Chain A
Amino acid sequence: MDIAWYLVLSAFIFCIGGAGVLTRRSPLVILICLELMLNAGNLALVAFARMTGTGDGQVFALVVMIVAACEVVVGLGLIVAMYRSHLPMDVDDMSELHG
């Protein structure tokens, strides 16, 4: 398959993840949709690595994977802390900082 197919697929996955981040309101699901977007970026990086024939893109993809793991650890820790202090599990209700 041509590299362009992989890139278009990664663009579609990125957009599905973006739509999820915009429409869903549970912080847990928003984190999962962020995972989707990061994975779409990973697919594009690996496709570009195949296109250039060098391993650099794969190294970038691994770094993205590690950053995503860090994000998950801290994000899930925050969600558990929110749950413990009985805060609403809704990003629209958590507007004390008026963000």
Chain B
Amino acid sequence: MESVVFFVAAFMAIGGALGVVLQRNPFYSVLSLVVHLLALAALFLLLSAEFIAAAQVIVYAGAVMVLYVFVVAYVGGLEDPLMEPNPVLRIAAPLFAVALGVELSVAILGSGLKGIDSRGPHVGAGFGSPAQIGQLFLTRFLIAFEVVSLLLLIAAVGAVVLARKSAAHPQADERVPGGTV
């Protein structure tokens, strides 16, 4: 049963990822990414990471994707040429991706890590629960927690500064000479 769920979720994840890369319309790319994120949430559940799965669905598939859809609707569904016009890159980029995939797979399967060929040790019901994550965040990873909250604040301030650009320069909707963004 577990392997059935794994393979369904894995095919959905890879299909969603391929859809992101191969769709010409950015709007369909965003929708493929939602499918991909939901499949990943199922995989997180299989790995008994309940809190991460819930955060993935709420934060990513919910909030972040809404932001993407808004921006795609604002900028407009520009049809993007699928292939790179540069002939060297057109051949080199997929080759690079395939070579990287083969290399990573060989490295993972040949790493000889203990427990890589097992399903992991037995863990209790509290594994991956909000209580465990919260306790780790507030004890061992307290500095990371504070730094990340500071980063969120900086990103929010940065977004506000980027967004109020047009209020400071009312002519910003015209073509700016030299393209000062």
Contacts and interface: CB of A to CB of B under 8 A. Distances in A.
Contacts, number: 256
A28 B181 contact: no
Contacts of A24: 21, 80, 82
Contact of B71 (A19, A25, A79): A79
A85 B52 contact: no
Instruction: Identify the 5 closest CB pairs spanning chains A and B, nearest first.
Output: A19-B97, A77-B162, A70-B155, A22-B93, A11-B104
A90 to B, nearest CB: 8
Size bracket, chain B contacts: 35 or more
A61 B127 CA distance: 15
Interface in A30-84: 32-33, 35-36, 39, 42-43, 46-47, 49-53, 55-56, 58-59, 61-63, 65-70, 72-74, 76-84
B165 A49 contact: no
Contacts of B125: none
Contacts of B26: 26, 28-29, 32
A55 to B, nearest CB: 5
Interface residues of A, number: 71
26 contacts: A1-B3, A2-B117, A3-B118, A8-B109, A12-B101, A15-B97, A15-B101, A23-B21, A23-B83, A23-B93, A24-B82, A25-B81, A26-B80, A29-B29, A32-B26, A32-B30, A39-B60, A49-B128, A50-B49, A52-B120, A55-B132, A59-B141, A61-B49, A65-B52, A76-B67, A85-B172
Interface of B: 2-3, 6, 10, 13-14, 17-18, 20-21, 26, 29-30, 33, 36-37, 40, 43-44, 46-49, 51-52, 55-56, 59-60, 63-64, 67-68, 71-72, 74-75, 78, 80-85, 89-90, 92-94, 96-98, 100-101, 104-105, 108-109, 113, 115-123, 127-128, 132-133, 136-137, 140-141, 144, 148, 151-152, 154-156, 158-159, 162-163, 165-166, 172-176, 178-181
